[in-house]
Structure 1
Amino acid sequence: MNTRPLSPDVAPPAFLQLAGHPLRWRLLSELARSDRLVQELAGLVGEAQNLVSYHLGKLRDGRLVNARRSSADRRDTYYGLDLVRIGALLSVAGGALHPGLRLAPPQRDDALVGAKVLFLCTGNSARSQMAEALARALSGGAIEAVSAGSHPKALHPNAVRVMAEDYGLDIAGQASKSLDLFEGERFDWVISLCDRVREVCPEFPDRPEVVHWSIPNPATGEPDDVTYPLFRDTAAELSTRIGFLIADMAARDPKEIP
């Protein structure tokens, strides 16, 4: 029987050392729910803003957290998680302990059926329209997804093109809708994709889960052939985030859903 002890030099993976700090873990937990400003994070964790900024810097250096300037106020910065990288690092950490460990969150398909999600951006011409289509498609139609804008305008042709060419989804028939149309309606999740619309988002009945994803507008005003790669990047980010959203929703007990 082999009873040889492990080398004393065996150390936990760097990811665990970085993320395992109690305050950094609390910051990661908050950012797993929604993109946040540093002052919001300081309030949520009850710590001084300079201390929170220091630990956010550590998480950014480890590429667990990313930062984007707010499109509503360029003096502000939104922080968010790199969920794909964190998932990969968690798998590596588990494998370092035992190769049989697997990341397999419990799935409850009944938690998805009939869930209502509202995606918001300013123009309802690109980001929120693509998110609406992706949420329906990636959930197999279980999620009732709709979208709206604070200042709606015509559906952008690049949004239609990206959805058709990269995801096989036809959104040409989707119409832009005003946020006012949905005031007073009940949703399970309300997700803002635009920093500006977040600041004017009304309250909805029954306290839905309110989430913000700070995603730049791919419609920069340049010619369509120039901005098309930006639309592809935006769609890819939305697909990733919505995939994680669906996993979150499916792992919840129906009693936990707003």
Structure 2
Amino acid sequence: MKPTILILCTGNSCRSHMAEGYLQHKLGNLVNVQSAGSKPSNYVHPIAIQVMQELEIDISGHRSKHLDEYMQQDIDTVITVCDNAETCCPTFPGERKHYCWSFADPADATGTEEEIVNAFRKVRDEIRETFDRYAAELSLQLSGT
């Protein structure tokens, strides 16, 4: 059975969806990637969708979910992508690994429309860099080499 990776953030509207989309794109059918939040916003931020589309990754079908949806599932790895998610998020049954990688919340960006979109791109690129390293390491582990 392929491992399940759950990516958590408080609002489950930006960072966790970008990370979920990117990691699923990188690892394909090797893993099952999901995301959730401790206080979900009930939407996926349209600029997060836009900047991921620039990488040809479609997250428009994602929905904001509460972490309770996953409490009864076996989760192999939990990755939190904001500082307060780690303190707000419980341990999951079967969880083997937990990583906490902090990224600024692009939804807090202010300024012109271009400045706000660039803030989302900056966080997207930071997520991409971090998750590229993780995907390479995990891919080696899953292939047994």
Q: TM-score, normalization: structure 1?
A: 0.52
Decide whether the 8 Å contact of 2:7 with 2:79 is kept in 1. Answer: yes
Q: SS at 2:6's partner residue?
A: strand
Question: What corresponds to 2:72 in structure 1?
Answer: 184
Question: What corresponds to 2:49 in structure 1?
Answer: 160
User: 1:251 deviation in Å?
Assistant: 2.8
C-alpha spacing 1:219/1:209, structure 2 compared with 1 (3 Å): same
Q: Distance in 2 between matches of 1:253 and 1:162?
A: 29
The answer to whether 1:122 aligns with 2:14 is no
Structure 1 residues not aligned, in runs of 5+ = 1-112
Q: TM-score, normalization: structure 2?
A: 0.89
Q: Distance in 2 between matches of 1:251 and 1:206?
A: 22
Decide whether the 8 Å contact of 1:158 with 1:224 is kept in 2. Answer: no
Q: Distance in 2 between matches of 1:224 and 1:132?
A: 27
Which of 119, 126, 139 is 1:250 aligned to? 139
User: 1:173 deviation in Å?
Assistant: 1.4
Higher relative contact order (CA 8 A, sep 6+): 2
Q: Distance in 1 between matches of 2:78 and 2:72?
A: 13
C-alpha spacing 1:186/1:152, structure 2 compared with 1 (3 Å): same
C-alpha spacing 1:204/1:162, structure 2 compared with 1 (3 Å): same
Count of residues in Structure 1 that have an aligned counterpart in Structure 2: 142
Give the greater-gyration-radius structure (CA). Answer: 1
Question: What corresponds to 1:149 in structure 2?
Answer: 37
Q: Once superposed, which parts of structure 1, at least 4 consecutive aligned residues long, lie more than 2 Å away?
A: 221-224, 250-255
CA RMSD of aligned residues (A): 1.9
Question: Once the two structures are superposed, what CA deviation does each residue of 1:135-192 show, in whole Å capped at 9, x if it has no partner?
Answer: 1101133221000011111211110100112x11121111000011111311111000
